[in-house]
Structure 1
Amino acid sequence: MESGQWTEDIKKALENNDQALAVKRVQEYLDKENNTPINVAVTGESGSGKSTFVNAFRGINNEDEGAAPTGCVETTTEATPYPHPNYPNVTLWDLPAIGRFPVDKYLKLVGFKRFDFFIIISATRFRENDVKLAQEIQRMKKKFYFVHSKIDNDIYHEKRCQRSKFNAERTLKQIRDNCIQGLQRQGVESPQVFPVSSFHLHLYDFTLLGDTFEGELPAHKKHALLLAMPNISLEVIDKKKKAFHAQIKYYAMLSAGVAAAPVPGLSAAVDVGVLVSVVTQYVNGFGLDVLSLQRLADSTHVPHDELIATIVSPLAAVKITPGLVLKVLSQCAGTAALMAAEEGSRFTPILGIPAAMSLSFISTYRALNYFLDTLAEDAQRVFIKALGLDTSV
């Protein structure tokens, strides 16, 4: 069911005074949006950088707890799942090296059907085994993407060789084109190749890779994968903000549906519970939780205290609790007044419940917009500080 149909079902339920059905439909929609499972297969030959890519995509460092083991020799002997630390519905699978088994047996061994798409990684040129795997995946009508890893090493060596004649963009294009032409010569139709560095995701083609996922995945899977993506650019942060914003009306509808129950205090309790849950999603999605900020400090070598100093919202880098949310809300006089008016209106004969529903919708909508705006701005400031970007240009 598409989001538009869900919205129509919710509206009809509310028009028919069936608040229980409206709440049920809203919850179903939000569960589908936020808990859609995504399984990404990452494969390639030994030493291609598969495990490092898996860790980088999940926003963690190679030394962190739960990281995929890395090394100069093949460290993966079977398909191993690595859930995203903040979005466990998104799982990257580190697969054994290509070439240890015939392609058809390899796909059966790793469980081909469970994967949404494949990322085939090589640190040099793509070889016969990569091509055979891609052709078999294509035959089974699933998506795959070629990732040329460790591109920063190639760029560094080219820079040393060319010196004054070196041009980074031209070199990157040459490497990409050479990979594409090599794959075409081996019979791959319209190959997509993305040179990336797992240690510098904001550079090279990782952003383009993310854009390609966005264009080719179903809407609900695209949403889930976007939120799990690391903040590699200000554009990604803005896309996350828009994705979060698109859901606010549904949380407001959920609040309005609960407000119809003639139980004093119930709506306020549910509203606060919803706000805590959603704000936690915002904090995790923008990488403003404690662990993500520490990992960012470690990977960029920007002191943790300096990253924290750029944050304005009291909701970032802390545990989100009902008390904290209410404290922040109390500073938003308009929203706090609406919540108080909602509780008072339910005791008004005949029109009390409809008024309470309307006030609940408005107060939840305003509160989530406020939280989202402030946390998105914090995410942008942290990103700029971590990468030392000059915003004056």
Structure 2
Amino acid sequence: MEARMAENLDRTSKIPLNIAVTGGSGNGKSSFVNAFRGIDDNDDHAAPTGVRETTIEVKEYPHPNYPNVIFSDLPGIGTTKFPASKYLKLVGFKKFDLFIIISVDRFTENDAKLAKEIKKMGKKFYFVRSRVDIDLQSEQRKKDFSEQKTLAKMREDCVKSECLKLIHVFLVSNHHIHLYDFSLLQDTIERDLPDHMKDALLLASPSIFPDIIEKKKKFFQRQIWGLTALSGVVAAVPLPGLSIGVDLALVVGAVTHYVVGFGLDIPSLRRTADRTGISYDELKAVLQSQLAAQEITKELVTKVILQLSSRAALLVAEEVSTFIPIVGIPLSMAFSAATTYKLLKLFLDVLAEDAQRISDRVLKAILTPVC
């Protein structure tokens, strides 16, 4: 039964999604890969960065919480080892689900040719212009500086080539992903993906954005109904202690997914601290749930449940009802389903609120105008 519960919870986290990140050498591909994975450039598991081309072969970087989502850092197109004419074949394009083409200023004819070939293969591609924040800092010294006009000019300059005129360019900062088009890029990719891959991308997306937090909450809410039904089925088995034991295991599994999905587990919070410069202790201080920044165990969940007197009473009623003749099992099933639903809904709500508190704390610290 626990294996069935785990399968129900883990289904999305097993769907493979391979995102290729490519472009000219030295355009910030590795930093982009790190940013999407929520990892600082100095992290031991980060894609190596540098002013020179540091990627000389296809290198895969799984998401730290969802290894089924892989970001493949591709060598720069047009290098001696990877000429444009043979690029897709050499990097093994078939295994990638979509391509992100990155430039630091404008996109080249090689980028245009690459996009054309990707389109022929029936796959999606996205043009990303990186280091926007750095260029804005330089431009603000000019007289009559306007951020809006400067960003518009950046988009225009990116697509001087006639064959690129109709594309949309996403402007991003790899080190300040809350600015500019990073959220729009994530949303666009999610919308374009096949249905079975949408949730895989969503779970792997940074929880710094309020809309991402809300989407994740809705995703987990949809799972609650299936888990509630499973809890009711188990309660129909008249073995003392079985239903409560399974319900507790079910809640532990679900809460673990919520904590990891919202980036509230200890490793994720430490990565957020490294990436933002806010100390881990400061981030932990804004949390209010007893379940965040903790190892989720049966003991911890039991402790929290016992503090919720009404929920604890339902658990007792569920166990006692199994001994009532005729109506006992239906009552137990109803109690079990109701208890599971209420607990999961409550825990999901409080953890989503904590995710929003972390987002607010991070944005308060870094949402200082770059210009």
Q: TM-score, normalised by structure 2?
A: 0.92
Contact 1:55 1:61 in 2 (8 A): yes
Q: How does 1:1-393 map to 2 (within 5 A)?
A: 30-100=9-79, 101-103=82-84, 105-162=86-143, 165-179=144-158, 181-183=159-161, 185=162, 187-188=163-164, 190-388=166-364
Cα deviations by residue, 1:175-222 (Å, 9 ceiling, x for unpaired):
12332x424x1x147312101011000001001101102221122311
- Structure 1's unaligned 5+ residue stretches are 1-19
Q: Residues 78 and 367 (structure 1 numbering): CA distance in 2 closer, same or farther, change over 3 Å?
A: same
Contact 1:32 1:220 in 2 (8 A): no
The aligned amino acid for 1:237 is: I
Shift of 1:44: 1.1
Contact 1:27 1:254 in 2 (8 A): no
Contact 2:38 2:275 in 1 (8 A): no
Q: Residues 169 and 243 (structure 1 numbering): CA distance in 2 closer, same or farther, change over 3 Å?
A: farther
SS in 1 for 2:107: coil
Structure-1 separation of matches of 2:311 and 2:196: 31
Structure-2 separation of matches of 1:344 and 1:302: 49
Shift of 1:170: 2.5
The aligned amino acid for 1:266 is: L
Q: Residues 321 and 104 (structure 1 numbering): CA distance in 2 closer, same or farther, change over 3 Å?
A: farther
Count of residue correspondences: 364
Structure-1 separation of matches of 2:8 and 2:249: 18
Worse-matched range after superposition: 107-116 or 202-211: 107-116
SS in 1 for 2:99: strand
With a CA cutoff of 8 Å and minimum separation of 6, indicate the structure with the bigger relative contact order: 2
Contact 1:40 1:93 in 2 (8 A): yes
Shift of 1:241: 1.3
RMSD: 2.1
Contact 2:208 2:362 in 1 (8 A): no
Shift of 1:389: 6.8
Cα deviations by residue, 1:211-244 (Å, 9 ceiling, x for unpaired):
1022211223111111111123222212211121
Structure-2 separation of matches of 1:110 and 1:348: 66
Structure-2 separation of matches of 1:250 and 1:275: 13
Q: Residues 255 and 103 (structure 1 numbering): CA distance in 2 closer, same or farther, change over 3 Å?
A: farther
Q: Residues 178 and 239 (structure 1 numbering): CA distance in 2 closer, same or farther, change over 3 Å?
A: same
Cα deviations by residue, 1:54-99 (Å, 9 ceiling, x for unpaired):
1110011111121111111111122111111111111111111111
Identity of aligned residues (%): 54
- Structure 2's unaligned 5+ residue stretches are none
Q: TM-score, normalised by structure 1?
A: 0.87
Contact 1:40 1:119 in 2 (8 A): yes
The aligned amino acid for 1:43 is: T
Contact 1:55 1:67 in 2 (8 A): yes
Structure-1 separation of matches of 2:228 and 2:94: 37
Shift of 1:120: 0.5
Contact 1:54 1:94 in 2 (8 A): yes
Structure-2 separation of matches of 1:242 and 1:341: 30
Contact 1:150 1:197 in 2 (8 A): yes
Shift of 1:325: 0.7
SS in 1 for 2:237: coil
Structure-1 separation of matches of 2:78 and 2:194: 31
Contact 1:104 1:136 in 2 (8 A): no
Structure-1 separation of matches of 2:252 and 2:6: 16
Q: Which runs of 4+ in 1 moved over 6 A?
A: none
Contact 1:42 1:95 in 2 (8 A): yes
SS in 1 for 2:259: helix
Contact 1:300 1:387 in 2 (8 A): no
SS in 1 for 2:225: helix
